Structure 1
Amino acid sequence: MSSLIAMGAGGAATVTTMYLYVGVRGKNKIKVQDDAVPFWAFGIGLLAANAGTAFQQLTGIGEQLGASLQGNAALGDWQTGATAAVLTIAVFGLKARPWKDALCGAIAPSLYASAGGFWAIPASVLSGLIHSFVS
């Protein structure tokens, strides 16, 4: 056993996704409060970055979102950090909605990593910690 849990990134991403899905529905023994959804989804996004091809599309969404806003001439000088700030405000500033928070939380790690600077700190530190537990 090379880690504490020894699931691998792909297994951990699948288990976490299933836990979030079952918990959000609220009709089962597992309960995930709406306010906790972005944090669970952020963990899924971190695991997806190290998982197999089934999860690689998830990490690409954040990068594509940032690139599409940067390439929009109507917005002027737009950097990936602005996209990360808008995403963060959408998650924590708007009313908690599981579908919105799950999507935004899952794409946040790749977006934060591509933004770099201050934004990359939570993604890189937490990714290292989670990876050491599951792989």
Structure 2
Amino acid sequence: MQHLDFIVTAAPAISIEGGRVLGFVGAGGIATALTIVMVAGIREPKGSAATGGAPAKKGRIRKKLTSDQAQWTGVAAGTFYMAAGSLWTVGGQLSDAFSGLITNGGFGSAGTGAVSLVLAAIMYFREMTPGKSAFTGIIAAGVWASAGGIWGIPQALILTGAGALGIS
């Protein structure tokens, strides 16, 4: 009598193809998602005391980004705007325009490193509303990327992390 051993394995119920935890997202998709996060997160929740509305329904949860969260969400969104291209080039154009205000000779000899320092000082020392913080973060992403040096570290970390998740 012949004896056969069978090894039976179950197919995995969930598979992460090619290391893509979120499936295929792409730079444009993540730029869109981060924009939605910023817009939804900087608006005052409905029914809050600040807007004078009636109290929100019990059990309804709404989140609001803090100034710091909005700022770093803006930096991440700005980084993906540059990577996505297409419609998202507006973020880079805003960064170039802001940078041009300082580097075009009005302040003497100043480069994008100086613009990066100005933005870092504003972001660190000024407490802004979440909307202004998000806008500043978007501008900072483009300026820091063009300045290079240590200013390129946030962009490198964001894009490396996105690549590790399979988002790029």
TM value normalised by structure 1: 0.87
Say which SS state the counterpart of residue 140 (structure 2) adopts.
helix
**Greater per-residue helix proportion:** 1
Give the letter aligned to residue 70 of structure 1: T
Trace 1:29-48 onto structure 2 (pairs within 5 A).
Answer: 29-48=62-81
Distance in 1 (alpha carbons) for counterparts of 2:120 and 2:158: 17
Q: Equivalent of 2:35, from 11, 17, 35?
A: 17
Q: Unaligned 5+ residue runs, structure 1?
A: none
State the number of aligned residues: 134
Q: Equivalent of 1:4, from 21, 42, 48?
A: 21
RMSD, aligned α-carbons:
1.8
TM value normalised by structure 2: 0.71
Q: Unaligned 5+ residue runs, structure 2?
A: 1-16, 47-61
Q: Are residues 1:98 and 2:115 paired?
A: no
Structure 1, residues 21-41: CA drift from partner, whole Å, max 9, x if none? 112214162332233110111
1:109 alignment counterpart: 141
2:154 alignment counterpart: 122
Greater relative CO, 1 or 2 (CA 8 Å, sep 6+): 1
Asked if structure 1 preserves the Cα contact closer than 8 Å seen for 2:67 and 2:127, the reply is: no
Asked if structure 1 preserves the Cα contact closer than 8 Å seen for 2:98 and 2:139, the reply is: no
